[in-house]
Amino acid sequence: MDGLRQRVEHFLEQRNLVTEVLGALEAKTGVEKRYLAAGAVTLLSLYLLFGYGASLLCNLIGFVIKAIESPSKDDDTVWLTYWVVYALFGLAEFFSDLLLSWFPFYYVGKCAFLLFCMAPRPWNGALMLYQRVVRPLFLRHHGAVDRIMNDLSGRALDAAAGITRNVKPSQTPQPKDK
């Protein structure tokens, strides 16, 4: 628990949008930044538990634009890995949404999962999941996926060519004269 407290204290010492807002609130209220941050996390957690629109809030938390806006390009691979895991999670969630919506506190768990996937190294959940689950599955089945994608793209091109061949010039809409 002390390690988590030290990381939070270190984060609150850094200069970013969150710490600037907390600093301004600290100056106005006289309440320390760490207590303001703890209160904000508590309110956010309670809203995820009981609030209307928890799904939207959870997805907004998961939809971080940090990779695009970061000055360093070294973290781009980490964020790309996060987006791959996020997309696969979203795909699985799409097919299991009816079942998952019955679980109490689902959005708190989802939000915790997404934060775990965004965590800095070595605790980055997206990298762990990618290395242990996604990458081995992809490497095992990438040949079949490539064949299916080539077949589908060939069929789509054939269908598009067939549609354009079947349209007669007299069937195309003519502009009306004014």
pLDDT per residue as tens digits for the range 5-60: 777 777 777 776 677 878 888 888 888 888 888 888 888 777 777 767 677 776 67
Residue range 74-108, pLDDT digits in tens = 777 888 888 888 888 888 888 887 787 778 888 88
List the structure tokens of 51.
């609030």
- C-alpha atoms less than 13 angstroms from C-alpha of 17 in its C-beta half-sphere: 2
Residues in contact with 129: Cβ distance below 8 Å, sequence separation at least 6, in sequence order: 85, 117
Distance of alpha carbon 95 from alpha carbon 143, whole angstroms: 25
pTM for the full predicted model = 0.56
More confident residue, 26 or 130: 130
- For residue 65, name the pLDDT band (cuts at 50, 70, 90): low
Q: Is the pLDDT of residue 72 over 90?
A: no
Cis peptide before 120 (omega within 30 of 0): no
